[in-house]
Structure 1
Amino acid sequence: MRLRKRHLLWLVPLVTLAIIIVIPLPAHLLDRGSSSVRILDRNGEELYEVQKSHHGSQRWTSLHEIPHSCIAALVAIEDRNFYGHAGISLKGIARALWQNLTARRTVSGGSTLTQQLARITLGAQRRTFTIKILETLLALKLEQSLTKDEILERYFNEAYFGHRSYGLAAAAQTYFGTSVAELSTAQCALLAGLPQAPSTLDPFVDLDAARMRQKRVLNAMRETNILSQDEAELAARETLTLTEDRTQIRAPHFVMWLLTERMQELAGPAVRTTLDLTLQTAVERIVERKLKELADKNVTSAAVVVLDAHTGDVLAMVGSADYFDTEHDGAVNVALAARQPGSALKPFTYALALSHGDTAASTVADTFVQFLTQEGTPYAPRNYDYLEHGLVRYREALANSYNIAAVRVAERVGIDVLLGFLRSAGLSTLTQTPDHYGLALTLGDAEVRLLELAQAYGIFARGGKTLPVRTLLADSMSDGTNILDPKVAWLITDILSDPTARLAEFGESGPLNFDFPVAAKTGTTRNSRDNWTVGFSPDRIVGVWVGNADNSPMKGTSGITGAGPIFHDAMLAATENIPERIFERPAGLVQKTVCRLSGLLPTPLCPHMIEEWFIEGTEPTEPDSIYQSFLIDTRNGLLANTKCDQTFTEPKGLAVFPREVEQWAREQGWPTPPTKESPLCGAQSPMEKPANRQSSWLEITHPQPNESYLLDPLIPDNQELVIFEAHASSDIQTIDWYVDGEKVGTAKAPDFRMKWKPEPGEITVTARANDLMEESYIAVLKR
C-alpha cells in the first residue's frame, strides 16, 4: 500500500509534464498582434495608438532590430541563466529566498524572464498561489513552444516600461524620443532596469531612482563580462536627456474627439481618418506664429477647423494653442465648445431675406432704432464702430457687417424663422425659444460651436445643401439636405467674396482678400471675449476662433485683426496644390444696373450707378425715388412755383430720404429739400398742421413714458447715450431740453434731436418751447 502511494506521488509530476507537452499553447497567447488600434491620417501617417483595456503605447519590434547592448542588459539584470534553464530556475528561486530572508524584506525576485513573460501573458492583477503555479506551468510551456530568441522578442514587446509604454520601442520613443536602433548602451541600461518597478522608477517622476537602477544594470553587465570597467563607467557618466513628458500624439484635439465620439467603431490594427496631417501641422504652426503677434492684446488661444466642402471631411482641427498647456486649459477643444459667434451669423439672416423676395439691392436704414424686448424694455442695437451709415443696400450692409441694419432685416424675417433655419443648418446648441434670443440672435447673441458653424457655412459653398462631416475614410459620404435656393446661396457667396462691397469697413487690403475666390465673414462679441472668421473657397471651408479659455477679454482685437490673419494663412495652406476654381453661378440669375443709393432703376438724376445680381423675377421695375427734382428759388433756396420769375429759378436734384434716415442725412451734410414755398413767388401755400390743432403744440416722441435703460459697462461712456426727440408745430423752431429740472441743451426743428449722457436713477425729461412744456418719465438702471 505504501509502495502504491509512492508511485502515485511520482505520477503527479509525470502527468503534469505530459499535459505541458501534449496540450498545445492557446493560439491567443501566441498571437503577436498588437492590442492597440493605430489611428492614422488620410495618408497613413500615425496620429495616435489607442490601447484596448489596460494597455498603453506599443510597437512590435523584431529581436534583430534591438541593439545587443539592450538584450545583454536585460539578461544580465533579470535572468543571467536565461540560456541555461528550461523556464524556471531553482537556483534563482533559492538565491532570491536567501536574499529576502537576510534583508527581512523583498529585495530580489526569483522569476526567470520566461516566468515574467508568462505573468505578462496571463495578465493577472493579483499573484495568488494558484496564479504562481499557472505562471510556472505556462513558463514551461513557453519554453517548449518558443525558442529563446522568440521569448526575448516577446518580452521586449510586451513588458511594461512605465508611462503607458508597452515594449522597448514605445519606451525608447516615450523617454528619449528615439528609435530602438539608435539607443545607446547607457539608454539600454536605464530602460532594462525599468520593468522591475515601472511606476517607482519612472524617469519622469524620479530620475535619480532610475539612474541608481541603471548603475545596478551596468554593474551586472560588467560582472557578466559584457562591459569592461571603463565601458561601464563611461556609460554611467553619459548625460541622458529625456524628451518632454508628453503623450505621443498628433492632432490631439481631433484624436480625443474621435475617441470620445466613436471609440466603439475603431476596429482593426489601423484606422484611417479624414485628417490631413501635413495640413494639420501647417495650421498648428500658423496658430503658434500668429498668437505670438497677438500676445500684447491678451490673446492666448485659438481654434481652427478645415473641412472639405465637397465631402465634409475634417481635414484639420486645432482646438487650442497648445493641447498640453494646462495654464490656459489647452486640452479644452474650443472647436467643439459653445461660444458666442458675433456677426458670423448675419449671412443666414440675409439668406432668409433673399429667400423671401428681397434682393441684394434692397435697402435698409442703418440708423438709430429702438425695439421693445419681450420684457418690455427697449433694445437699441449699435454698430461695432458706434456710427450710423444711413440708407444701405443689403450687399453693403452684410459685407460691412452693420449691426443695426442686420437687426432691422432680422425683424422683417422673424426670429422664429431665423432660429429654425439656423437649426436646420446644423447649429445644435440653439435650444432655447425665439423669445429667449430675441432680435440680437442675428448679432450672435447665442452660443454655437466652431465646427458646426463651419458646417453651416457649407450651405453657401454647396449651393444650399447641408454638409455632414466625415471623420473616417471608411464612412460613406452623404449628399446633404437642400435647405436653401442655390441662387440665394450664390448671392450670399458673391456678397461675402466682394472686396469692393466691404471697402467702407475693411479697406482695400486685409486678411479677407485673396487672389482667388474666397467668401468670408468675421464676428466679434461686444465684450471682446470671442472673435471669429469663417469662410470658404469652392473646395475648402475654414473656421477660426480667437480668444481666451478663461473667458477674459482681449484688448483691441476684432474678427478682422485677431481671427482674420489666422484665417488667411490657414486658407492658403488648405488650398495649396488645389486647382483654382470660381464659385459657379447657377442658372436663373440676371445682372441689372441700379441706382447705388436706392437699389432701384436709375433715373437721369441718379449720380452713381452699380451693377447688381438678381434672381429672375426679383429685379427692380420701379425708378429711383430717392433723387427728386425740385424747382428752387435761387434767391433764398426755397421752393419756387409757377408765379416765380424764371430768371431766379433752377431745377435741382436733391435726395429725399425715408423718415428714419432724415436725421442721419442732415448730420452728414446732405442738403435738405425745402418744404416751404418762396414768399418772393407770390401766394404761399399754407403749412400743414395736425388735424384739430389750430395753435402751437409740442410733443415728446422719444423717450417714451416709463421706458427703462440699462447701462452696459462694455459700451464706452461717450457712446452710451439716450436720444431725445420731439415734434412741434411749424412756428416752433427750437426747444430746450431739461433733465430733472436742469437744462441740458437746445435742439432745432424738425425733430429737435439731442443726445444725453445718462446717469442712474428715476429721471424726468422735459421739453420746453415758449410757454409750452411736455414731460416724460424714464428709469436708468446700472448693470
Structure 2
Amino acid sequence: MDQRTPPRRTRAAPKPRRSFLSRFLGGLFLWGFAAALLALLLLLVAVWMAASSLPGYRELMKSPQGQSVVIRASDGTELVTVGPSFGRWLSYREIPPHMIAAMIAVEDRRFHWHPGVDPIGIARSFVVNQRAGRTVQGASTITQQLARNLFLTNARTYDRKLKEAVLAMALERTFTKEAILELYLNRVYFGGGAYGIDAASRKFFGHSAESLSLAEAAIIAGLVKAPSRYAPTADPEQARARGAVVLATMQDAGKLSPAAAAAADLASVRFAVDRTQGDVRYFTDWVLAQLETLTDEAVQPLEVTTTLVPAHQAAAEAAVRTRLPPGAQGAIVAMTTKGEVTAMVGGRDYASSTYNRATVARRQPGSAFKLFVYLAALEDGMKPDDTLVDEPVSFGNWSPKNSDGRFRGTVTLREAFALSINTVAAQLAMRVGTDAVAGMARRLGITTPIDRRPAMALGASEVTLMELTSAYAVVANEGADVRPFGIRKITTADGDLLYLREEEGSRVLLAPHVAAYASQLLAAAVETGTGRAAQIGRPLAGKTGTTSSNKDGWFIGFTPELVAGVWIGRDDAKAVPGLAGGRAPAQVFAAFMSSALSGVPVSQLNTDVAEGVFGLEPDAEVYGLAEEPAPAPPPGGSTAPAPPPPLSEGWLDEAISGAPGEPPPST
C-alpha cells in the first residue's frame, strides 16, 4: 500500500483590486447606458403616443394654418391686407419631379433614410454653430418643419424643439415618405401670403405649379429658408440669386446634371404682379420683410402700425409719376430725423416692376458722396471759409476734371462744395486720407463696399438710396445717428401687444460744430450752387450727384422737419439724356417737399456754431473737446473763440461705443 503523502493544494492568487478611477468609469458607463436606454424607451413611448393621437391624413389636408396681416399707416389708415392664399391641392404624382428634387436638395438631403430627425445634420449644425459662436445653421428636417407648421409655433425654445422631434418621428411612423412630401409641399409657407407650391406658383408666376419650370422650381424651393427676404414680391433679384444657390445645391447633391443646371435660365423667369395695389406696395413689401424678425407669432392675425404718412406718400407718388424723364426709373425715400420712414417709392410703377430701387438697388452716388469727404475735412479741423486752389491736379494716374472744364483758382470750402468742384474734393480726400473718408461713410451708415482709391472722393463706390439718405439725416439731426425704421407697433387682431418700438438713445456720430458746418455747406449748395432747382421757399440743405455719362442723378436734402432722397436712372445703367442731379432729381425733390411740408410752419436750419461748443462747458467733455486747454487770449484782450481742435479717434470711440482707446472696426 502506497503511503505517499498526497500533494498539497495551492490556493489561487487573489485578483488585483481595480483602481478607483477604473471602478468610477465603469459605473459611469453602466449608469450612462442605463440612462440612455431609459431615455430611448421614453422617447419610443412618446412617439407611439403621439402617433396614436395624430389626425388622419384627410384631416391634415383640411387644416392649414394661414395668417392674415393688416398693414396700417401712422394715422391708422389701412394700406394693404395680406391674407393667406391656398392653391389647388396637388397629389404627389402631380408635383413636378424637379420641384421635389429641389426641395429635398436644399432642405433635407437625407430625407429618404432618416426617421424624422437627422443625427448627422444635428451633429454638423452643432459643430458649425460652436465654431461660429452663434446659431448660423439649423438641422430641422422636412418632417420636422411639417410638424412645426401643422401643430406648433415658431417659438425658439428647447421644449418646442423636443415636441417637434417627437411629432416628426410620429409622422414618419404613421405616413409614407411620399405622403409627408405631399403634405409639406401643399402646406409650407412661401412668402407673400402663399401657402403651398400651387399658391406660390400662381402668385409669383401666374400659373399652376403643375407646369413649373426647373428655374421656377428652384426659386420656389429657395423661399422656404426666409420667405420674407427672398420672396419675389420683396426683391426679385434676391429671389433669382437664391434660386441659383438652389440649382448649385441640386447639382452638388446629384439631383441635377451640370448641363441641366446650366440650361435653367433664371434671368428669363418673369414674375407676375398684383395690379390691385398701388405704389405703396414698395413700402409695405419692405415692412413685411421685417415681421419675422420682430415677432414669432405665426398663427394669430396681425395688425401692423407703420410710420408711413399718407400725405407724404401721395406727394412722393405724384412727384415720380409726373416728373421722371422718359425711359427712366426713379425712387424716393423720406424720413424724419428720428428715422421714421414716412414715404417710399421704389420705381415708376409697382404694377410694372416690384424691384425696390429705394432699398435694394446699388448705384454710384457721384458728387452726393462728397458729403463724407467734407465731413472728414471738417472733423480734421478745417472750416467752411478755409481756402484751397481749384487747379489741375494729379494723383498717380488719375487727374480729376471739373464737369464744366473750368478752374476757378482760390476758393473757399463753401464755394467748392456749393459748385461741386471735383479737384477740391479730390485734394481734401488726399489731405485727410481715403481711409478717413471711408470711415466717415461707414460711421454714418453706409454698409456697401467702399473703394479706397483716389476716385472714391467723387462717388465711385455704390450705395443704396436708403443708406445715403439716412447718412444725410445724421447731419440734419445735429450729429446724432439715425436708424431708419417702418414699424411702430404689432398687435394681434384682439389687441394683444406683440411689439412696440421703444425710443432709443442716440449715439453721437458727429460733434455739433461739425454737423453745423456741414449744414452750412449743404445750404450753400441749394442757395447758390448746383442744387438751386430744389429750392422750395424755406430753409433747405442738400446736395446733387451725377455719375459719368449721365447714368445716375441724385438729390439728397433736408429741412429741420424732413429728410428726403431722390435717385433717377435706368435699370440697365444706360445714359439718360440730359440727366443731372441739379435737374430732374432736384425738381422731383422740390415737388415732393413742397407738397409734403404744405402747412408746416417754417423753421431754421441748424447752421450756427455756438461759441460755447469749443469752451469748457459740461457738454464739451462728452465730445472729447476738453482734453486740451484753450489757448490764452492774445495781448489786447480779444475774447474771440479759438478754432476747434481736430477731433481724435479717442473722441470717436468714446462717442460711439463708450470704450476709449479701442480702434474703430476696419472697413
TM-score by length of 1: 0.44
Match of 1:205 in 2: none
Match of 2:330 in 1: 302
Q: Does 2:369 align with 1:355?
A: no
Match of 1:450 in 2: 465
Q: Partner of 1:478: helix, strand, or coil? A: coil
Residues in 2 aligned to 1:249 and 1:514: alpha-carbon distance in whole angstroms: 27
**Post-superposition offset of 1:165:** 11
Residues in 2 aligned to 1:442 and 1:337: alpha-carbon distance in whole angstroms: 21
Residues in 2 aligned to 1:395 and 1:488: alpha-carbon distance in whole angstroms: 14
Q: Alpha carbons of 1:501 and 1:53: their partners in 2 closer, same or farther (altered >3 Å)?
A: closer
Q: Which has the higher strand share?
A: 1
How many residue pairs match? The answer is: 374
Q: Which has the larger radius of gyration?
A: 1
Question: Map of 1:327-346 to 2, 5 A cutoff?
Answer: 329-346=353-370
Matching residue within 276, 294, 312 for 1:279:
312
Q: Which digits, 9 at most, give the CA deviation of each residue in 1:199-249, with x for residues without a partner?
A: 99xxxxxxxxxxxxxxxxxxxxxxxxxxxxxxxxxxxxxxxxxxx961435
User: What are the ranges of 5 or more consecutive residues in structure 1 without an aligned counterpart?
Assistant: 1-25, 57-120, 123-129, 131-162, 167-173, 175-196, 201-243, 373-377, 591-613, 621-783
Match of 2:575 in 1: 553
Q: Alpha carbons of 1:249 and 1:264: their partners in 2 closer, same or farther (altered >3 Å)?
A: farther
Q: Alpha carbons of 1:546 and 1:615: their partners in 2 closer, same or farther (altered >3 Å)?
A: farther
Match of 2:75 in 1: 43
Q: Alpha carbons of 1:281 and 1:461: their partners in 2 closer, same or farther (altered >3 Å)?
A: same
Residues in 1 aligned to 2:283 and 2:477: alpha-carbon distance in whole angstroms: 24
Q: Alpha carbons of 1:199 and 1:48: their partners in 2 closer, same or farther (altered >3 Å)?
A: farther
Question: Map of 1:520-599 to 2, 5 A cutoff?
Answer: 520-584=542-606, 585-588=608-611
Q: Alpha carbons of 1:334 and 1:542: their partners in 2 closer, same or farther (altered >3 Å)?
A: closer
Q: Which digits, 9 at most, give the CA deviation of each residue in 1:115-167, with x for residues without a partner?
A: xxxxxx99xxxxxxx9xxxxxxxxxxxxxxxxxxxxxxxxxxxxxxxx9899x
Q: Partner of 2:567: helix, strand, or coil? A: strand
**Post-superposition offset of 1:445:** 0.5
Q: Which digits, 9 at most, give the CA deviation of each residue in 1:631-688, with x for residues without a partner?
A: xxxxxxxxxxxxxxxxxxxxxxxxxxxxxxxxxxxxxxxxxxxxxxxxxxxxxxxxxx
Q: Does 2:355 align with 1:318?
A: no
**Post-superposition offset of 1:367:** 1.0
Match of 2:303 in 1: 270
Residues in 2 aligned to 1:571 and 1:381: alpha-carbon distance in whole angstroms: 34
Q: Alpha carbons of 1:332 and 1:354: their partners in 2 closer, same or farther (altered >3 Å)?
A: closer
Residues in 2 aligned to 1:491 and 1:589: alpha-carbon distance in whole angstroms: 15
**Post-superposition offset of 1:561:** 0.8
Matching residue within 525, 534, 538 for 1:512:
534
Question: Map of 1:330-729 to 2, 5 A cutoff?
Answer: 330-372=354-396, 378-430=397-449, 432=450, 436-474=451-489, 475-498=501-524, 502-503=528-529, 510-584=532-606, 585-588=608-611, 616-618=641-643
Preserved contact between residue 306 and residue 574 of structure 1 (Cα < 8 Å): no
**Post-superposition offset of 1:258:** 1.9
Residues in 1 aligned to 2:392 and 2:84: alpha-carbon distance in whole angstroms: 61
Residues in 2 aligned to 1:273 and 1:484: alpha-carbon distance in whole angstroms: 29
Preserved contact between residue 465 and residue 480 of structure 1 (Cα < 8 Å): yes
Match of 1:659 in 2: none
Among all aligned residue pairs of Structure 1 and Structure 2, give the percentage whose two residues are the same amino acid: 31
Q: Which digits, 9 at most, give the CA deviation of each residue in 1:684-709, with x for residues without a partner?
A: xxxxxxxxxxxxxxxxxxxxxxxxxx
Q: Partner of 1:392: helix, strand, or coil? A: strand
**Post-superposition offset of 1:353:** 1.1
Amino acid at match of 1:397: A
Further displaced range: 443-452 or 482-491: 482-491
User: What are the ranges of 5 or more consecutive residues in structure 2 without an aligned counterpart?
Assistant: 1-58, 89-149, 152-173, 175-191, 196-202, 211-272, 490-500, 614-638, 646-667
Q: Partner of 1:473: helix, strand, or coil? A: strand
Residues in 2 aligned to 1:530 and 1:450: alpha-carbon distance in whole angstroms: 12
Residues in 1 aligned to 2:527 and 2:601: alpha-carbon distance in whole angstroms: 26
**Post-superposition offset of 1:459:** 1.7
Q: Alpha carbons of 1:393 and 1:589: their partners in 2 closer, same or farther (altered >3 Å)?
A: farther
Preserved contact between residue 468 and residue 478 of structure 1 (Cα < 8 Å): no
Preserved contact between residue 375 and residue 440 of structure 2 (Cα < 8 Å): no
Q: Which digits, 9 at most, give the CA deviation of each residue in 1:325-383, with x for residues without a partner?
A: 1xxx45343443111000001122112212211111111111111111xxxxx100011
**Post-superposition offset of 1:41:** 1.1
Residues in 2 aligned to 1:534 and 1:500: alpha-carbon distance in whole angstroms: 11
Amino acid at match of 2:611: G
Amino acid at match of 1:423: R
Preserved contact between residue 381 and residue 644 of structure 2 (Cα < 8 Å): no
Question: Map of 1:75-154 to 2, 5 A cutoff?
Answer: none
**Post-superposition offset of 1:385:** 1.3
**Post-superposition offset of 1:536:** 0.5
Amino acid at match of 2:503: M
Residues in 1 aligned to 2:401 and 2:477: alpha-carbon distance in whole angstroms: 33
Q: Alpha carbons of 1:589 and 1:347: their partners in 2 closer, same or farther (altered >3 Å)?
A: farther
Q: Partner of 1:559: helix, strand, or coil? A: coil
Residues in 1 aligned to 2:586 and 2:384: alpha-carbon distance in whole angstroms: 25
**Post-superposition offset of 1:386:** 1.9
Q: Alpha carbons of 1:588 and 1:339: their partners in 2 closer, same or farther (altered >3 Å)?
A: same
Residues in 2 aligned to 1:248 and 1:42: alpha-carbon distance in whole angstroms: 19
Q: Alpha carbons of 1:260 and 1:356: their partners in 2 closer, same or farther (altered >3 Å)?
A: same
Residues in 2 aligned to 1:438 and 1:463: alpha-carbon distance in whole angstroms: 30
Q: Alpha carbons of 1:577 and 1:478: their partners in 2 closer, same or farther (altered >3 Å)?
A: farther
Residues in 2 aligned to 1:615 and 1:45: alpha-carbon distance in whole angstroms: 54
Q: Alpha carbons of 1:422 and 1:30: their partners in 2 closer, same or farther (altered >3 Å)?
A: closer
Q: Alpha carbons of 1:45 and 1:500: their partners in 2 closer, same or farther (altered >3 Å)?
A: closer
Preserved contact between residue 437 and residue 445 of structure 1 (Cα < 8 Å): no
RMSD: 3.7
**Post-superposition offset of 1:279:** 1.6
**Post-superposition offset of 1:552:** 1.2
- Tell which has more relative contact order, 1 or 2 (C-alpha 8 A, sep 6+): 2
Q: Partner of 2:556: helix, strand, or coil? A: strand
Preserved contact between residue 279 and residue 345 of structure 2 (Cα < 8 Å): no
Residues in 2 aligned to 1:254 and 1:615: alpha-carbon distance in whole angstroms: 50
Q: Partner of 1:371: helix, strand, or coil? A: coil
Amino acid at match of 2:390: D
Residues in 2 aligned to 1:281 and 1:485: alpha-carbon distance in whole angstroms: 36
**Post-superposition offset of 1:491:** 1.3
Q: Partner of 2:400: helix, strand, or coil? A: coil
Q: Alpha carbons of 1:38 and 1:588: their partners in 2 closer, same or farther (altered >3 Å)?
A: same
Amino acid at match of 1:618: P
**Post-superposition offset of 1:574:** 2.6
Preserved contact between residue 552 and residue 579 of structure 2 (Cα < 8 Å): no
Q: Alpha carbons of 1:359 and 1:273: their partners in 2 closer, same or farther (altered >3 Å)?
A: same
Residues in 2 aligned to 1:499 and 1:331: alpha-carbon distance in whole angstroms: 31
Amino acid at match of 1:323: Y
Preserved contact between residue 496 and residue 520 of structure 1 (Cα < 8 Å): yes
Q: Alpha carbons of 1:405 and 1:198: their partners in 2 closer, same or farther (altered >3 Å)?
A: closer
Amino acid at match of 2:642: G
Amino acid at match of 1:489: A
Q: Does 2:267 align with 1:248?
A: no
**Post-superposition offset of 1:457:** 0.6
Q: Partner of 1:523: helix, strand, or coil? A: strand
Q: Which digits, 9 at most, give the CA deviation of each residue in 1:272-297, with x for residues without a partner?
A: 11111232122111101002xx22xx
Preserved contact between residue 526 and residue 543 of structure 2 (Cα < 8 Å): no
Question: What stretches of structure 1 move > 4 A for 4+ residues in a row?
Answer: 52-56, 163-166, 197-200
Preserved contact between residue 358 and residue 618 of structure 1 (Cα < 8 Å): no
Residues in 2 aligned to 1:245 and 1:445: alpha-carbon distance in whole angstroms: 36
